[in-house]
Amino acid sequence: MTPTDHGWVVFSHSGRIRRVGRHTGPVLNRNDGTVMITTPLHGECRVFLSRTDDARTWAVGAQFAATAASVGHRAGTTTALRPGTTLVCSADGELSVHRAVPRSSPSGGVPGCSLEQAMGWLDHGLRTAATEIASSGRPIRLLLSGGVDSGLLASYLWRAGADVRALTLRTPWGDEIDGASRTARHVGLPLDVIDVTAQESTAAIYPCMQHTQSDDAEVITVHLLVTVAFELARACGADLVTGLGSDLLNAGSDFGMGAVAGDLNERIDDASASGMMVTGQFTPGPRMYHPYWSPALLHLQQSVPAQLKTVDGIEKYYLRELAAYQLPRETAFGRKVAIHQGAGLSAGLDGALGEQLAAVCAQIRAQTLDEVPLGNHDVAVGGEQR
């Protein structure tokens, strides 16, 4: 296996600042010779801090590259930085870390909010998000299931005049073709059904680890078909839109989040830090959009009280009531099935691999660290060659 893209890293050894790899991170050079790095607040990319045990060498950047650059592949500690953390790297290699301020949005919702208000907020938020996505001018691929989240996105993207086609993926272990076809037909979107073999599914594990910068098996399971769909979209110059995030905000799902606490602000931080919400927006070309995880829609969904999210055991209730005006009732009020569940990935991958996904992810991580090429791309802080 030869790694093809290890992201970016800025590191210091003996007081010398270096850049390694392609610059794909939120790095700002300043005129005083320092570098400032702020981790994206909503998980658009992940940033890692790696230090040797003697603290003489540190690295900041993508997981594999940062670990290899600072600790010589083995000794030391690598930590994923929380969203909103700021690091300042001085010209002489000193590093200061400014911790993220906890989110302050009310996680209990706005008191007295009615169902009609919540539906109105969501309608406005989705219309705005779809219009912004359509305005990029690039073609769009929508990862469509039979569920309400991607179904609503299909409706709003079509009404925004986006150049959009829907994708649904079929694995040997499951699919959601019937539901996706029903929604696409109702909205009027063209739908492409893509067969993904067992071999293609397992081959996507490493690219998925690169996209998410994660070796967590639950994160990889959630994001695997997103990665496959993104590669398909990117091959034809299209952005990918997904319904990721709605389950975490409106249905109490904690898959891929280590069964986090019930506080919504903590859930948002944990999901943003996990790698599930990466967008690829710091690299040239096509990117991913997760509208339910955009800043405006995050705030909106936090403002909706819990009693409007689950009514008589029906999760995402206010979303479903809005969707009932635009989508078939089977879509609006159908059973909630996450993308990895509909495709049967949890059991299917383990069977295809012959061992648990977690073990394979650990093996890939170890092998990748052995192969990361550091190169000789010395770049001075502030733009002066060193």
**Residue range 215-228, pLDDT digits in tens:** 999 999 999 999 99
Q: How far apart are CA 298 and CA 191, in angstroms?
A: 28
pLDDT at 302 over 80: yes
Residue 5 has pLDDT above 60, yes or no: no
- Residue 243 sits at φ, ψ, to 5 deg, of -95, 20
Least confident of 90-94, 234-238, 310-314: 90-94
Same domain, 140 and 84: no
Q: What is the CATH number of the domain that holds 236?
A: 3.40.50.620
Are 337 and 213 in the same domain?
A: yes
Among the residue ranges 6-20, 35-49, 266-280, the one predicted with the least confidence is: 6-20
So what's the pLDDT on residue 323? 98
Q: Which of 245, 59, 20, 269 is nearest to 153 (CA)?
A: 245
Mean pLDDT in the chain?
A: 84
**Residues 225-256: tens digit of each pLDDT:** 999 999 999 999 999 999 999 988 888 655 44
For 95-109, 193-207, 286-300, which range has the lowest pLDDT when averaged over its residues? Answer: 95-109
What residues contact residue 183 under an 8 Å CB cut-off, 6+ apart?
Answer: 144, 146, 150, 151, 154, 166, 327, 328, 331
> For 101-117, what is the mean pLDDT?
78
- Work out the average pLDDT over 44-59: 82
Both 148 and 52 in one domain: the answer is: no
Say yes or no: 219 and 339 in one domain.
yes
User: Which domain, by its residues, includes 67?
Assistant: 8-101
pTM of the prediction? 0.88
Residues 172, 305, single domain; the answer is: yes
Percentage above 90 pLDDT, the chain: 49
Q: Does residue 269 contact residue 82 with C-beta atoms inside 8 Å?
A: yes
